[in-house]
Chain A
C-alpha cells in the first residue's frame, strides 16, 4: 500500500476533479440560462434549457468525473472523494480510524481548491450568477425534508458502493461505471430539491468560495449536507452488511 501522504494526495486530486467538473457544469448551466427570467423561485435557471435534462447533464458531469477518478485512483487511495463514504466505511470497520482525519482534510481541501479554481478561470460570474454551484434547498423544501432527501440519495450511493465494490462477490471492473451512473441518476431526481450534494466536501468547497469571494452566505444550510449524507451512507453500510450476512 502506498503511504498515507500519497493516498491523501490522491483523495485531494479526486475531490478536486469531482467538484471542478461537477459544480463547473452547474455554474455553466446557470450562466448560460441567466438571460432567461426564471418563472418562479423554484426555477433558479437550471431546467430552463431542457427541463430535467439540465439536471441529467449536470449529474453526468459529476458521475463521469467520479467514474474517471475511481478508475484512476481506486487502487491508490480507494477513491472515496466523499467524507460520507469514508465515515461509513470506518463505521462498519472497513477503514482504519487513523486514516479517517487525513482523508477528510484532503477531500475538503481538494473541493475548496476546485471552487476557487473555477472562480479564477470563469471569473466573478461563477460566483454572482453560478453561486459556484453551491447547494441549497429549493422553495418549499424544509430543513428536515432536505436532510431526509440528502440521506436517501446518499443511502443509494453507499448501497451501490457496498454492492458493486465492497462485497467480495461483486463482479470486478464495474464499480466505477455503476457508481458514476448512480450519482448521475440521483442528481437528476434530487437536483431541484436540495441541489443533490450527497457529499459534505462537495458543498463545503462552493460555500467557502462564495463566502470568501463575496457570494451568498449559505452556511446556515451546511448541516443539511453534513448530517444527511453521513446518516444516509452509514445507514446503507449497516443495512447492506445486515442483509448480506447469511448468518441470521
Chain B
C-alpha cells in the first residue's frame, strides 16, 4: 500500500501505517501517532490513570476533524 497523502502530492511512498478512522495508508512523515490515556476503576472505585497509554495512528484529516469535534476542542 502507498501513502495517500504522498499520492495526492504526486509522490509514491510506501505506507507504514493506516489511519484508524478512515483507513488511509500513511507513510512515516504523514502518520500522526496519538497516545490515548487508559483509566481503570470507576464507580464504586476511584478511577486511576494508568502509566501505559494506548497508541493510535491518524491521518491529518481525521486528526483535525477529531480535534474540532472534541468537547475540549482537541
Task: Compute how far the CA of A205 lies from the CA of B51 in the bound complex, rounded to whole angstroms.
Answer: 40
Complex interface: chain B residues within 8 A of A77 (CB): 46
* Majority DSSP secondary structure for residues of B touching A: strand
Task: Compute how far the CA of A130 lies from the CA of B47 in the bound complex, rounded to whole angstroms.
Answer: 38
Complex interface: chain A residues within 8 A of B44 (CB): 74, 78-80, 85, 89, 161, 165-166, 175
Task: Compute how far the CA of A70 lies from the CA of B44 in the bound complex, rounded to whole angstroms.
Answer: 8
Q: Mark B48-61, 1 if CB is under 8 A from A, else 0.
A: 11000000000000
Give the residues from 75 to 108 in chain A that come closer than 8 angstroms, CB to CB, to chain B: 75-80, 85, 89, 94-95
B44 to chain A, nearest CB (A): 4
What are 9 A-B contacts with C-beta separation under 8 Å?
A: A1-B41, A75-B39, A75-B42, A78-B46, A79-B43, A89-B45, A94-B45, A165-B43, A175-B43
Task: Compute how far the CA of A89 lies from the CA of B41 in the bound complex, rounded to whole angstroms.
Answer: 14
A74 touches B42 (CB 8 A): yes
Task: Compute how far the CA of A161 lies from the CA of B49 in the bound complex, rounded to whole angstroms.
Answer: 23
* With A76-B46, A176-B43 already in contact, 11 other A-B pairs whose C-beta atoms are closer than 8 Å: A1-B47, A1-B49, A2-B46, A75-B41, A75-B46, A78-B41, A78-B44, A80-B44, A94-B45, A161-B44, A165-B43
Complex interface: chain A residues within 8 A of B48 (CB): 1
Complex interface: chain B residues within 8 A of A94 (CB): 45
A7 within 8 A of B: yes
B42 to chain A, nearest CB (A): 5
A3 to chain B, nearest CB (A): 10
Q: Please, which residue of chain A has its CB at the minimum distance from the CB of B43?
A: A74
